[in-house]
Amino acid sequence: MHEAGRLGGHIANLDRHSYLFGKKITHSLSPFLHSVVYDNLKLNWAQLRLDSDDMDLFLQLLRHPRCYGASVTMPNKVAILPHLDDLTPECRAVGACNTIFLRTKGSETLYCGANTDVVGIRESFYRNVDAGNADRAAHLFRDKPAMVIGAGGAARSAVYALRTWMRVRDIYLVNRDVEETLDVVAECTARGFGQGLVHVRTPEQAQELAAPGAVVACVPDFEPHTPEEIQARAVTETFLAKGRKGVMLEMCYNPSPFTRLGALAGRHGWKVILGTEALIWQGLEQDRYWTGREVGELPVGRVQRAICEAVKRNSGCKI
């Protein structure tokens, strides 16, 4: 209970609080992002880091009378689901929760799960293409192929956002591990949004397919070394080199949003959206649940500037 005692000292000075529940979260920008919102709204609220996968401890802390919810990150996004009273449609569909919010039903408090990662992906495209005109931006991607690089939780969220909201046609899956990719296909199909998934394994196969309009890269920033990694990168570059260019959302932003894959896409003439955009829009969606205010009522511009400055300080890069 040492961790609970440490957090208790912070809670005493706050009107309300939430948690960031996950492992390896020391450098997460989530608490900072939310602090910018709360400072602007003059709320004495804060998000506290709980670097843990101790579910019993977390559930106990969550039931503090002044706790308003939590951000949930790896490895807890799936493990938390059985402990929640209700799930939003996208949370249920993706099978992962990154946001806990509270609702009341009579005298009962309900602990509800949402997945705002999917909103972060959608809004990153809609807010950064065609001067932020969501309707016109949607037509750039609708009924055209898309591509997802990777096969983890973020890739599943990307498939959901692309299929359900952006209404793309086929979705090319590019990944170094065949079994992981087949798992994504099976899970998305079982959950009702797996139609049109195409596992592209070779550059030759990629050469025969139409260029994607939207790409979501969901892999860490590393130079490919193994034969499988080199092959996946070659497949990706085959698509990027096609004559028709589109937009890539590079989900990776740690330690820097300026990744090798993003640079490769830029050299091929693609518009690249930094991963900090997905961070910002999923975080603002979380605060919509927690504060009860619509995103347009939140300090969007201040959050964007603050995250930009934070990344610049942390990565030593110019933004």
pLDDT of residue 158: 96
Q: What's residue 8's pLDDT?
A: 61
Compute φ and ψ for 263, nearest 5 degrees: -65, -40
What per-residue confidence (pLDDT) applies to 319?
38
Residue ranges with strand state E in 225-316 = 247-250, 271-273
Q: What local confidence, expressed as pLDDT, does residue 3 receive?
A: 61
The token pair at 72 is 């949930």
Distances (CA, A) of 38 to 35, 116, 165, 283, 291: 5, 19, 29, 12, 9
Q: Where are the alpha helices (DSSP H) in 106-177?
A: 117-128, 134-141, 153-160
Domains of the chain: 2-115+277-315 (3.40.50.10860), 118-273 (3.40.50.720)
69: β partners: 18, 101
- Determine contact, residues 12/64, Cβ cutoff 8 Å: no
Kindly tell me the burial class for residue 225, based on how many C-beta atoms sit within 10 Å of its own C-beta (0-12, 13-18, 19 or more).
exposed
Element (H, E) at 308: helix 300-315
> What pTM was computed for the model?
0.90
What's the pLDDT score for residue 4? Answer: 58
All residue ranges of the chain with pLDDT < 70 are 1-9, 131-137, 315-319
pLDDT tens digits along 60-84: 999 999 999 999 999 999 999 999 9
pLDDT at 153: 87
Contact by Cβ (8 Å): 52, 70: no
**Distance in angstroms (rounded) separating the CA atoms of residues 267 and 34:** 34
Residue 283 has a pLDDT of: 98
Burial class, 266, CB count within 10 angstroms (exposed 0-12 / middle 13-18 / buried 19+): middle
Contact 121, 164 (CB under 8 A): no
Q: Which residues of 88-104 are buried (b: 16+ CB within 10 A; e: fewer)?
A: bebbbbbbbbbbbbeee
| Residue type for position 70 | A
